[in-house]
Structure 1
Amino acid sequence: MIAEEYVEAKTATDDRRPILQNMIDRACAPDHPYDAIVFYAFNRFFRNVAEMELTIRKLRKHGVEVVSVTQPTGDDPSQILVRQIIGAFDEHTSREIAAAVNAEKIDAFARLMKSKLDAGDTNTRKGYIRSIIDAVEVDDRVIRIIGGKDILQAAIAGKQTENGSVRGFVRKWRTRHDSNV
């Protein structure tokens, strides 16, 4: 049973995240509300191996296990070593990415993607549509476009979503019903 879900809106490399701290504080509360905290991967928990290990020890003292869905480990010495190696690799990767990516590169990428969506080839545009639409259902009377409501609304309105990951578009309708024009 899932007792609560905690979602961090921003990424971070340390424990200075209010939602993470609230979750840890709640997990260590005297009423022992959780048996485990489940993450997709350890790098979603921490990208600093020392802080990760200290936090895991703190949680275990309160009877709470930390579980990665994609990187299962146990509590025997060899499995602890595997978890620490994963943590060290995640920390190294995070530092490498931070050194390679800056605001200028992000802006250049955004300009490139905008130009590809505005004037790019058909495959680029189709790929974008596939990224925001889950399915299209066609029957005799209705065509249904299925996807996340917030993402589809933002795309139709030409706005970005809260996390800024989806660029909107405005469809240019053809005067003829010929899709090859």
Structure 2
Amino acid sequence: MTDIANSKGYVVIAIDARYHGIRKDPERSLSSIMKKLHFFGDKTAYEYMIRKTVLDYRVLIDWVSTQPQLDKTNINLAGYSMGAQIVLLLSALEENIQKVISMVPPYLDNKVAAVARINLVAHSRAKELLLITADNDEYATEEQNRGLFELINANSKRHRIFAGNHILSAGYIDTVAGWLQ
């Protein structure tokens, strides 16, 4: 995906969400945080993870905005899974976001209201938004994804549903590449 974006003139900067990828913490697993997301559970760790990850991205966006070789008025965001949730949140918080590609964001209801994407996507400032979901995603039903799409505010938005589960088939890359035109 990075090679495709670079070939179309995009500069790609990627960071992992907290507790993901190289930022995993052996003392605090993501699954242990997620297991507590129920009505009476302790949501503190999850909300902390999301808030701090959003802050990390906002610091990165601020840094990008100071780079003279980059166009601070044309910032585009893409994220997969937890990253998909983060880019949806950022689209409501940052004013220079042009395009957002959110791929298989997990569904979160108001149990974590402060960081639930369903509470912020209506305030998205993105000019264009592509939501990519799966028809058999274990983290979000088709109905939940349709509801999310309906709530999203964007000048232009599109929802593409792929057959399969949370790990999308390779065909989604062509859809993303076409969106980057």
Taking structure 2 as the reference length, the TM-score comes to: 0.27
Greater per-residue strand proportion: 2
Greater per-residue helix proportion: 1
Taking structure 1 as the reference length, the TM-score comes to: 0.27
Higher relative contact order (CA 8 A, sep 6+): 2
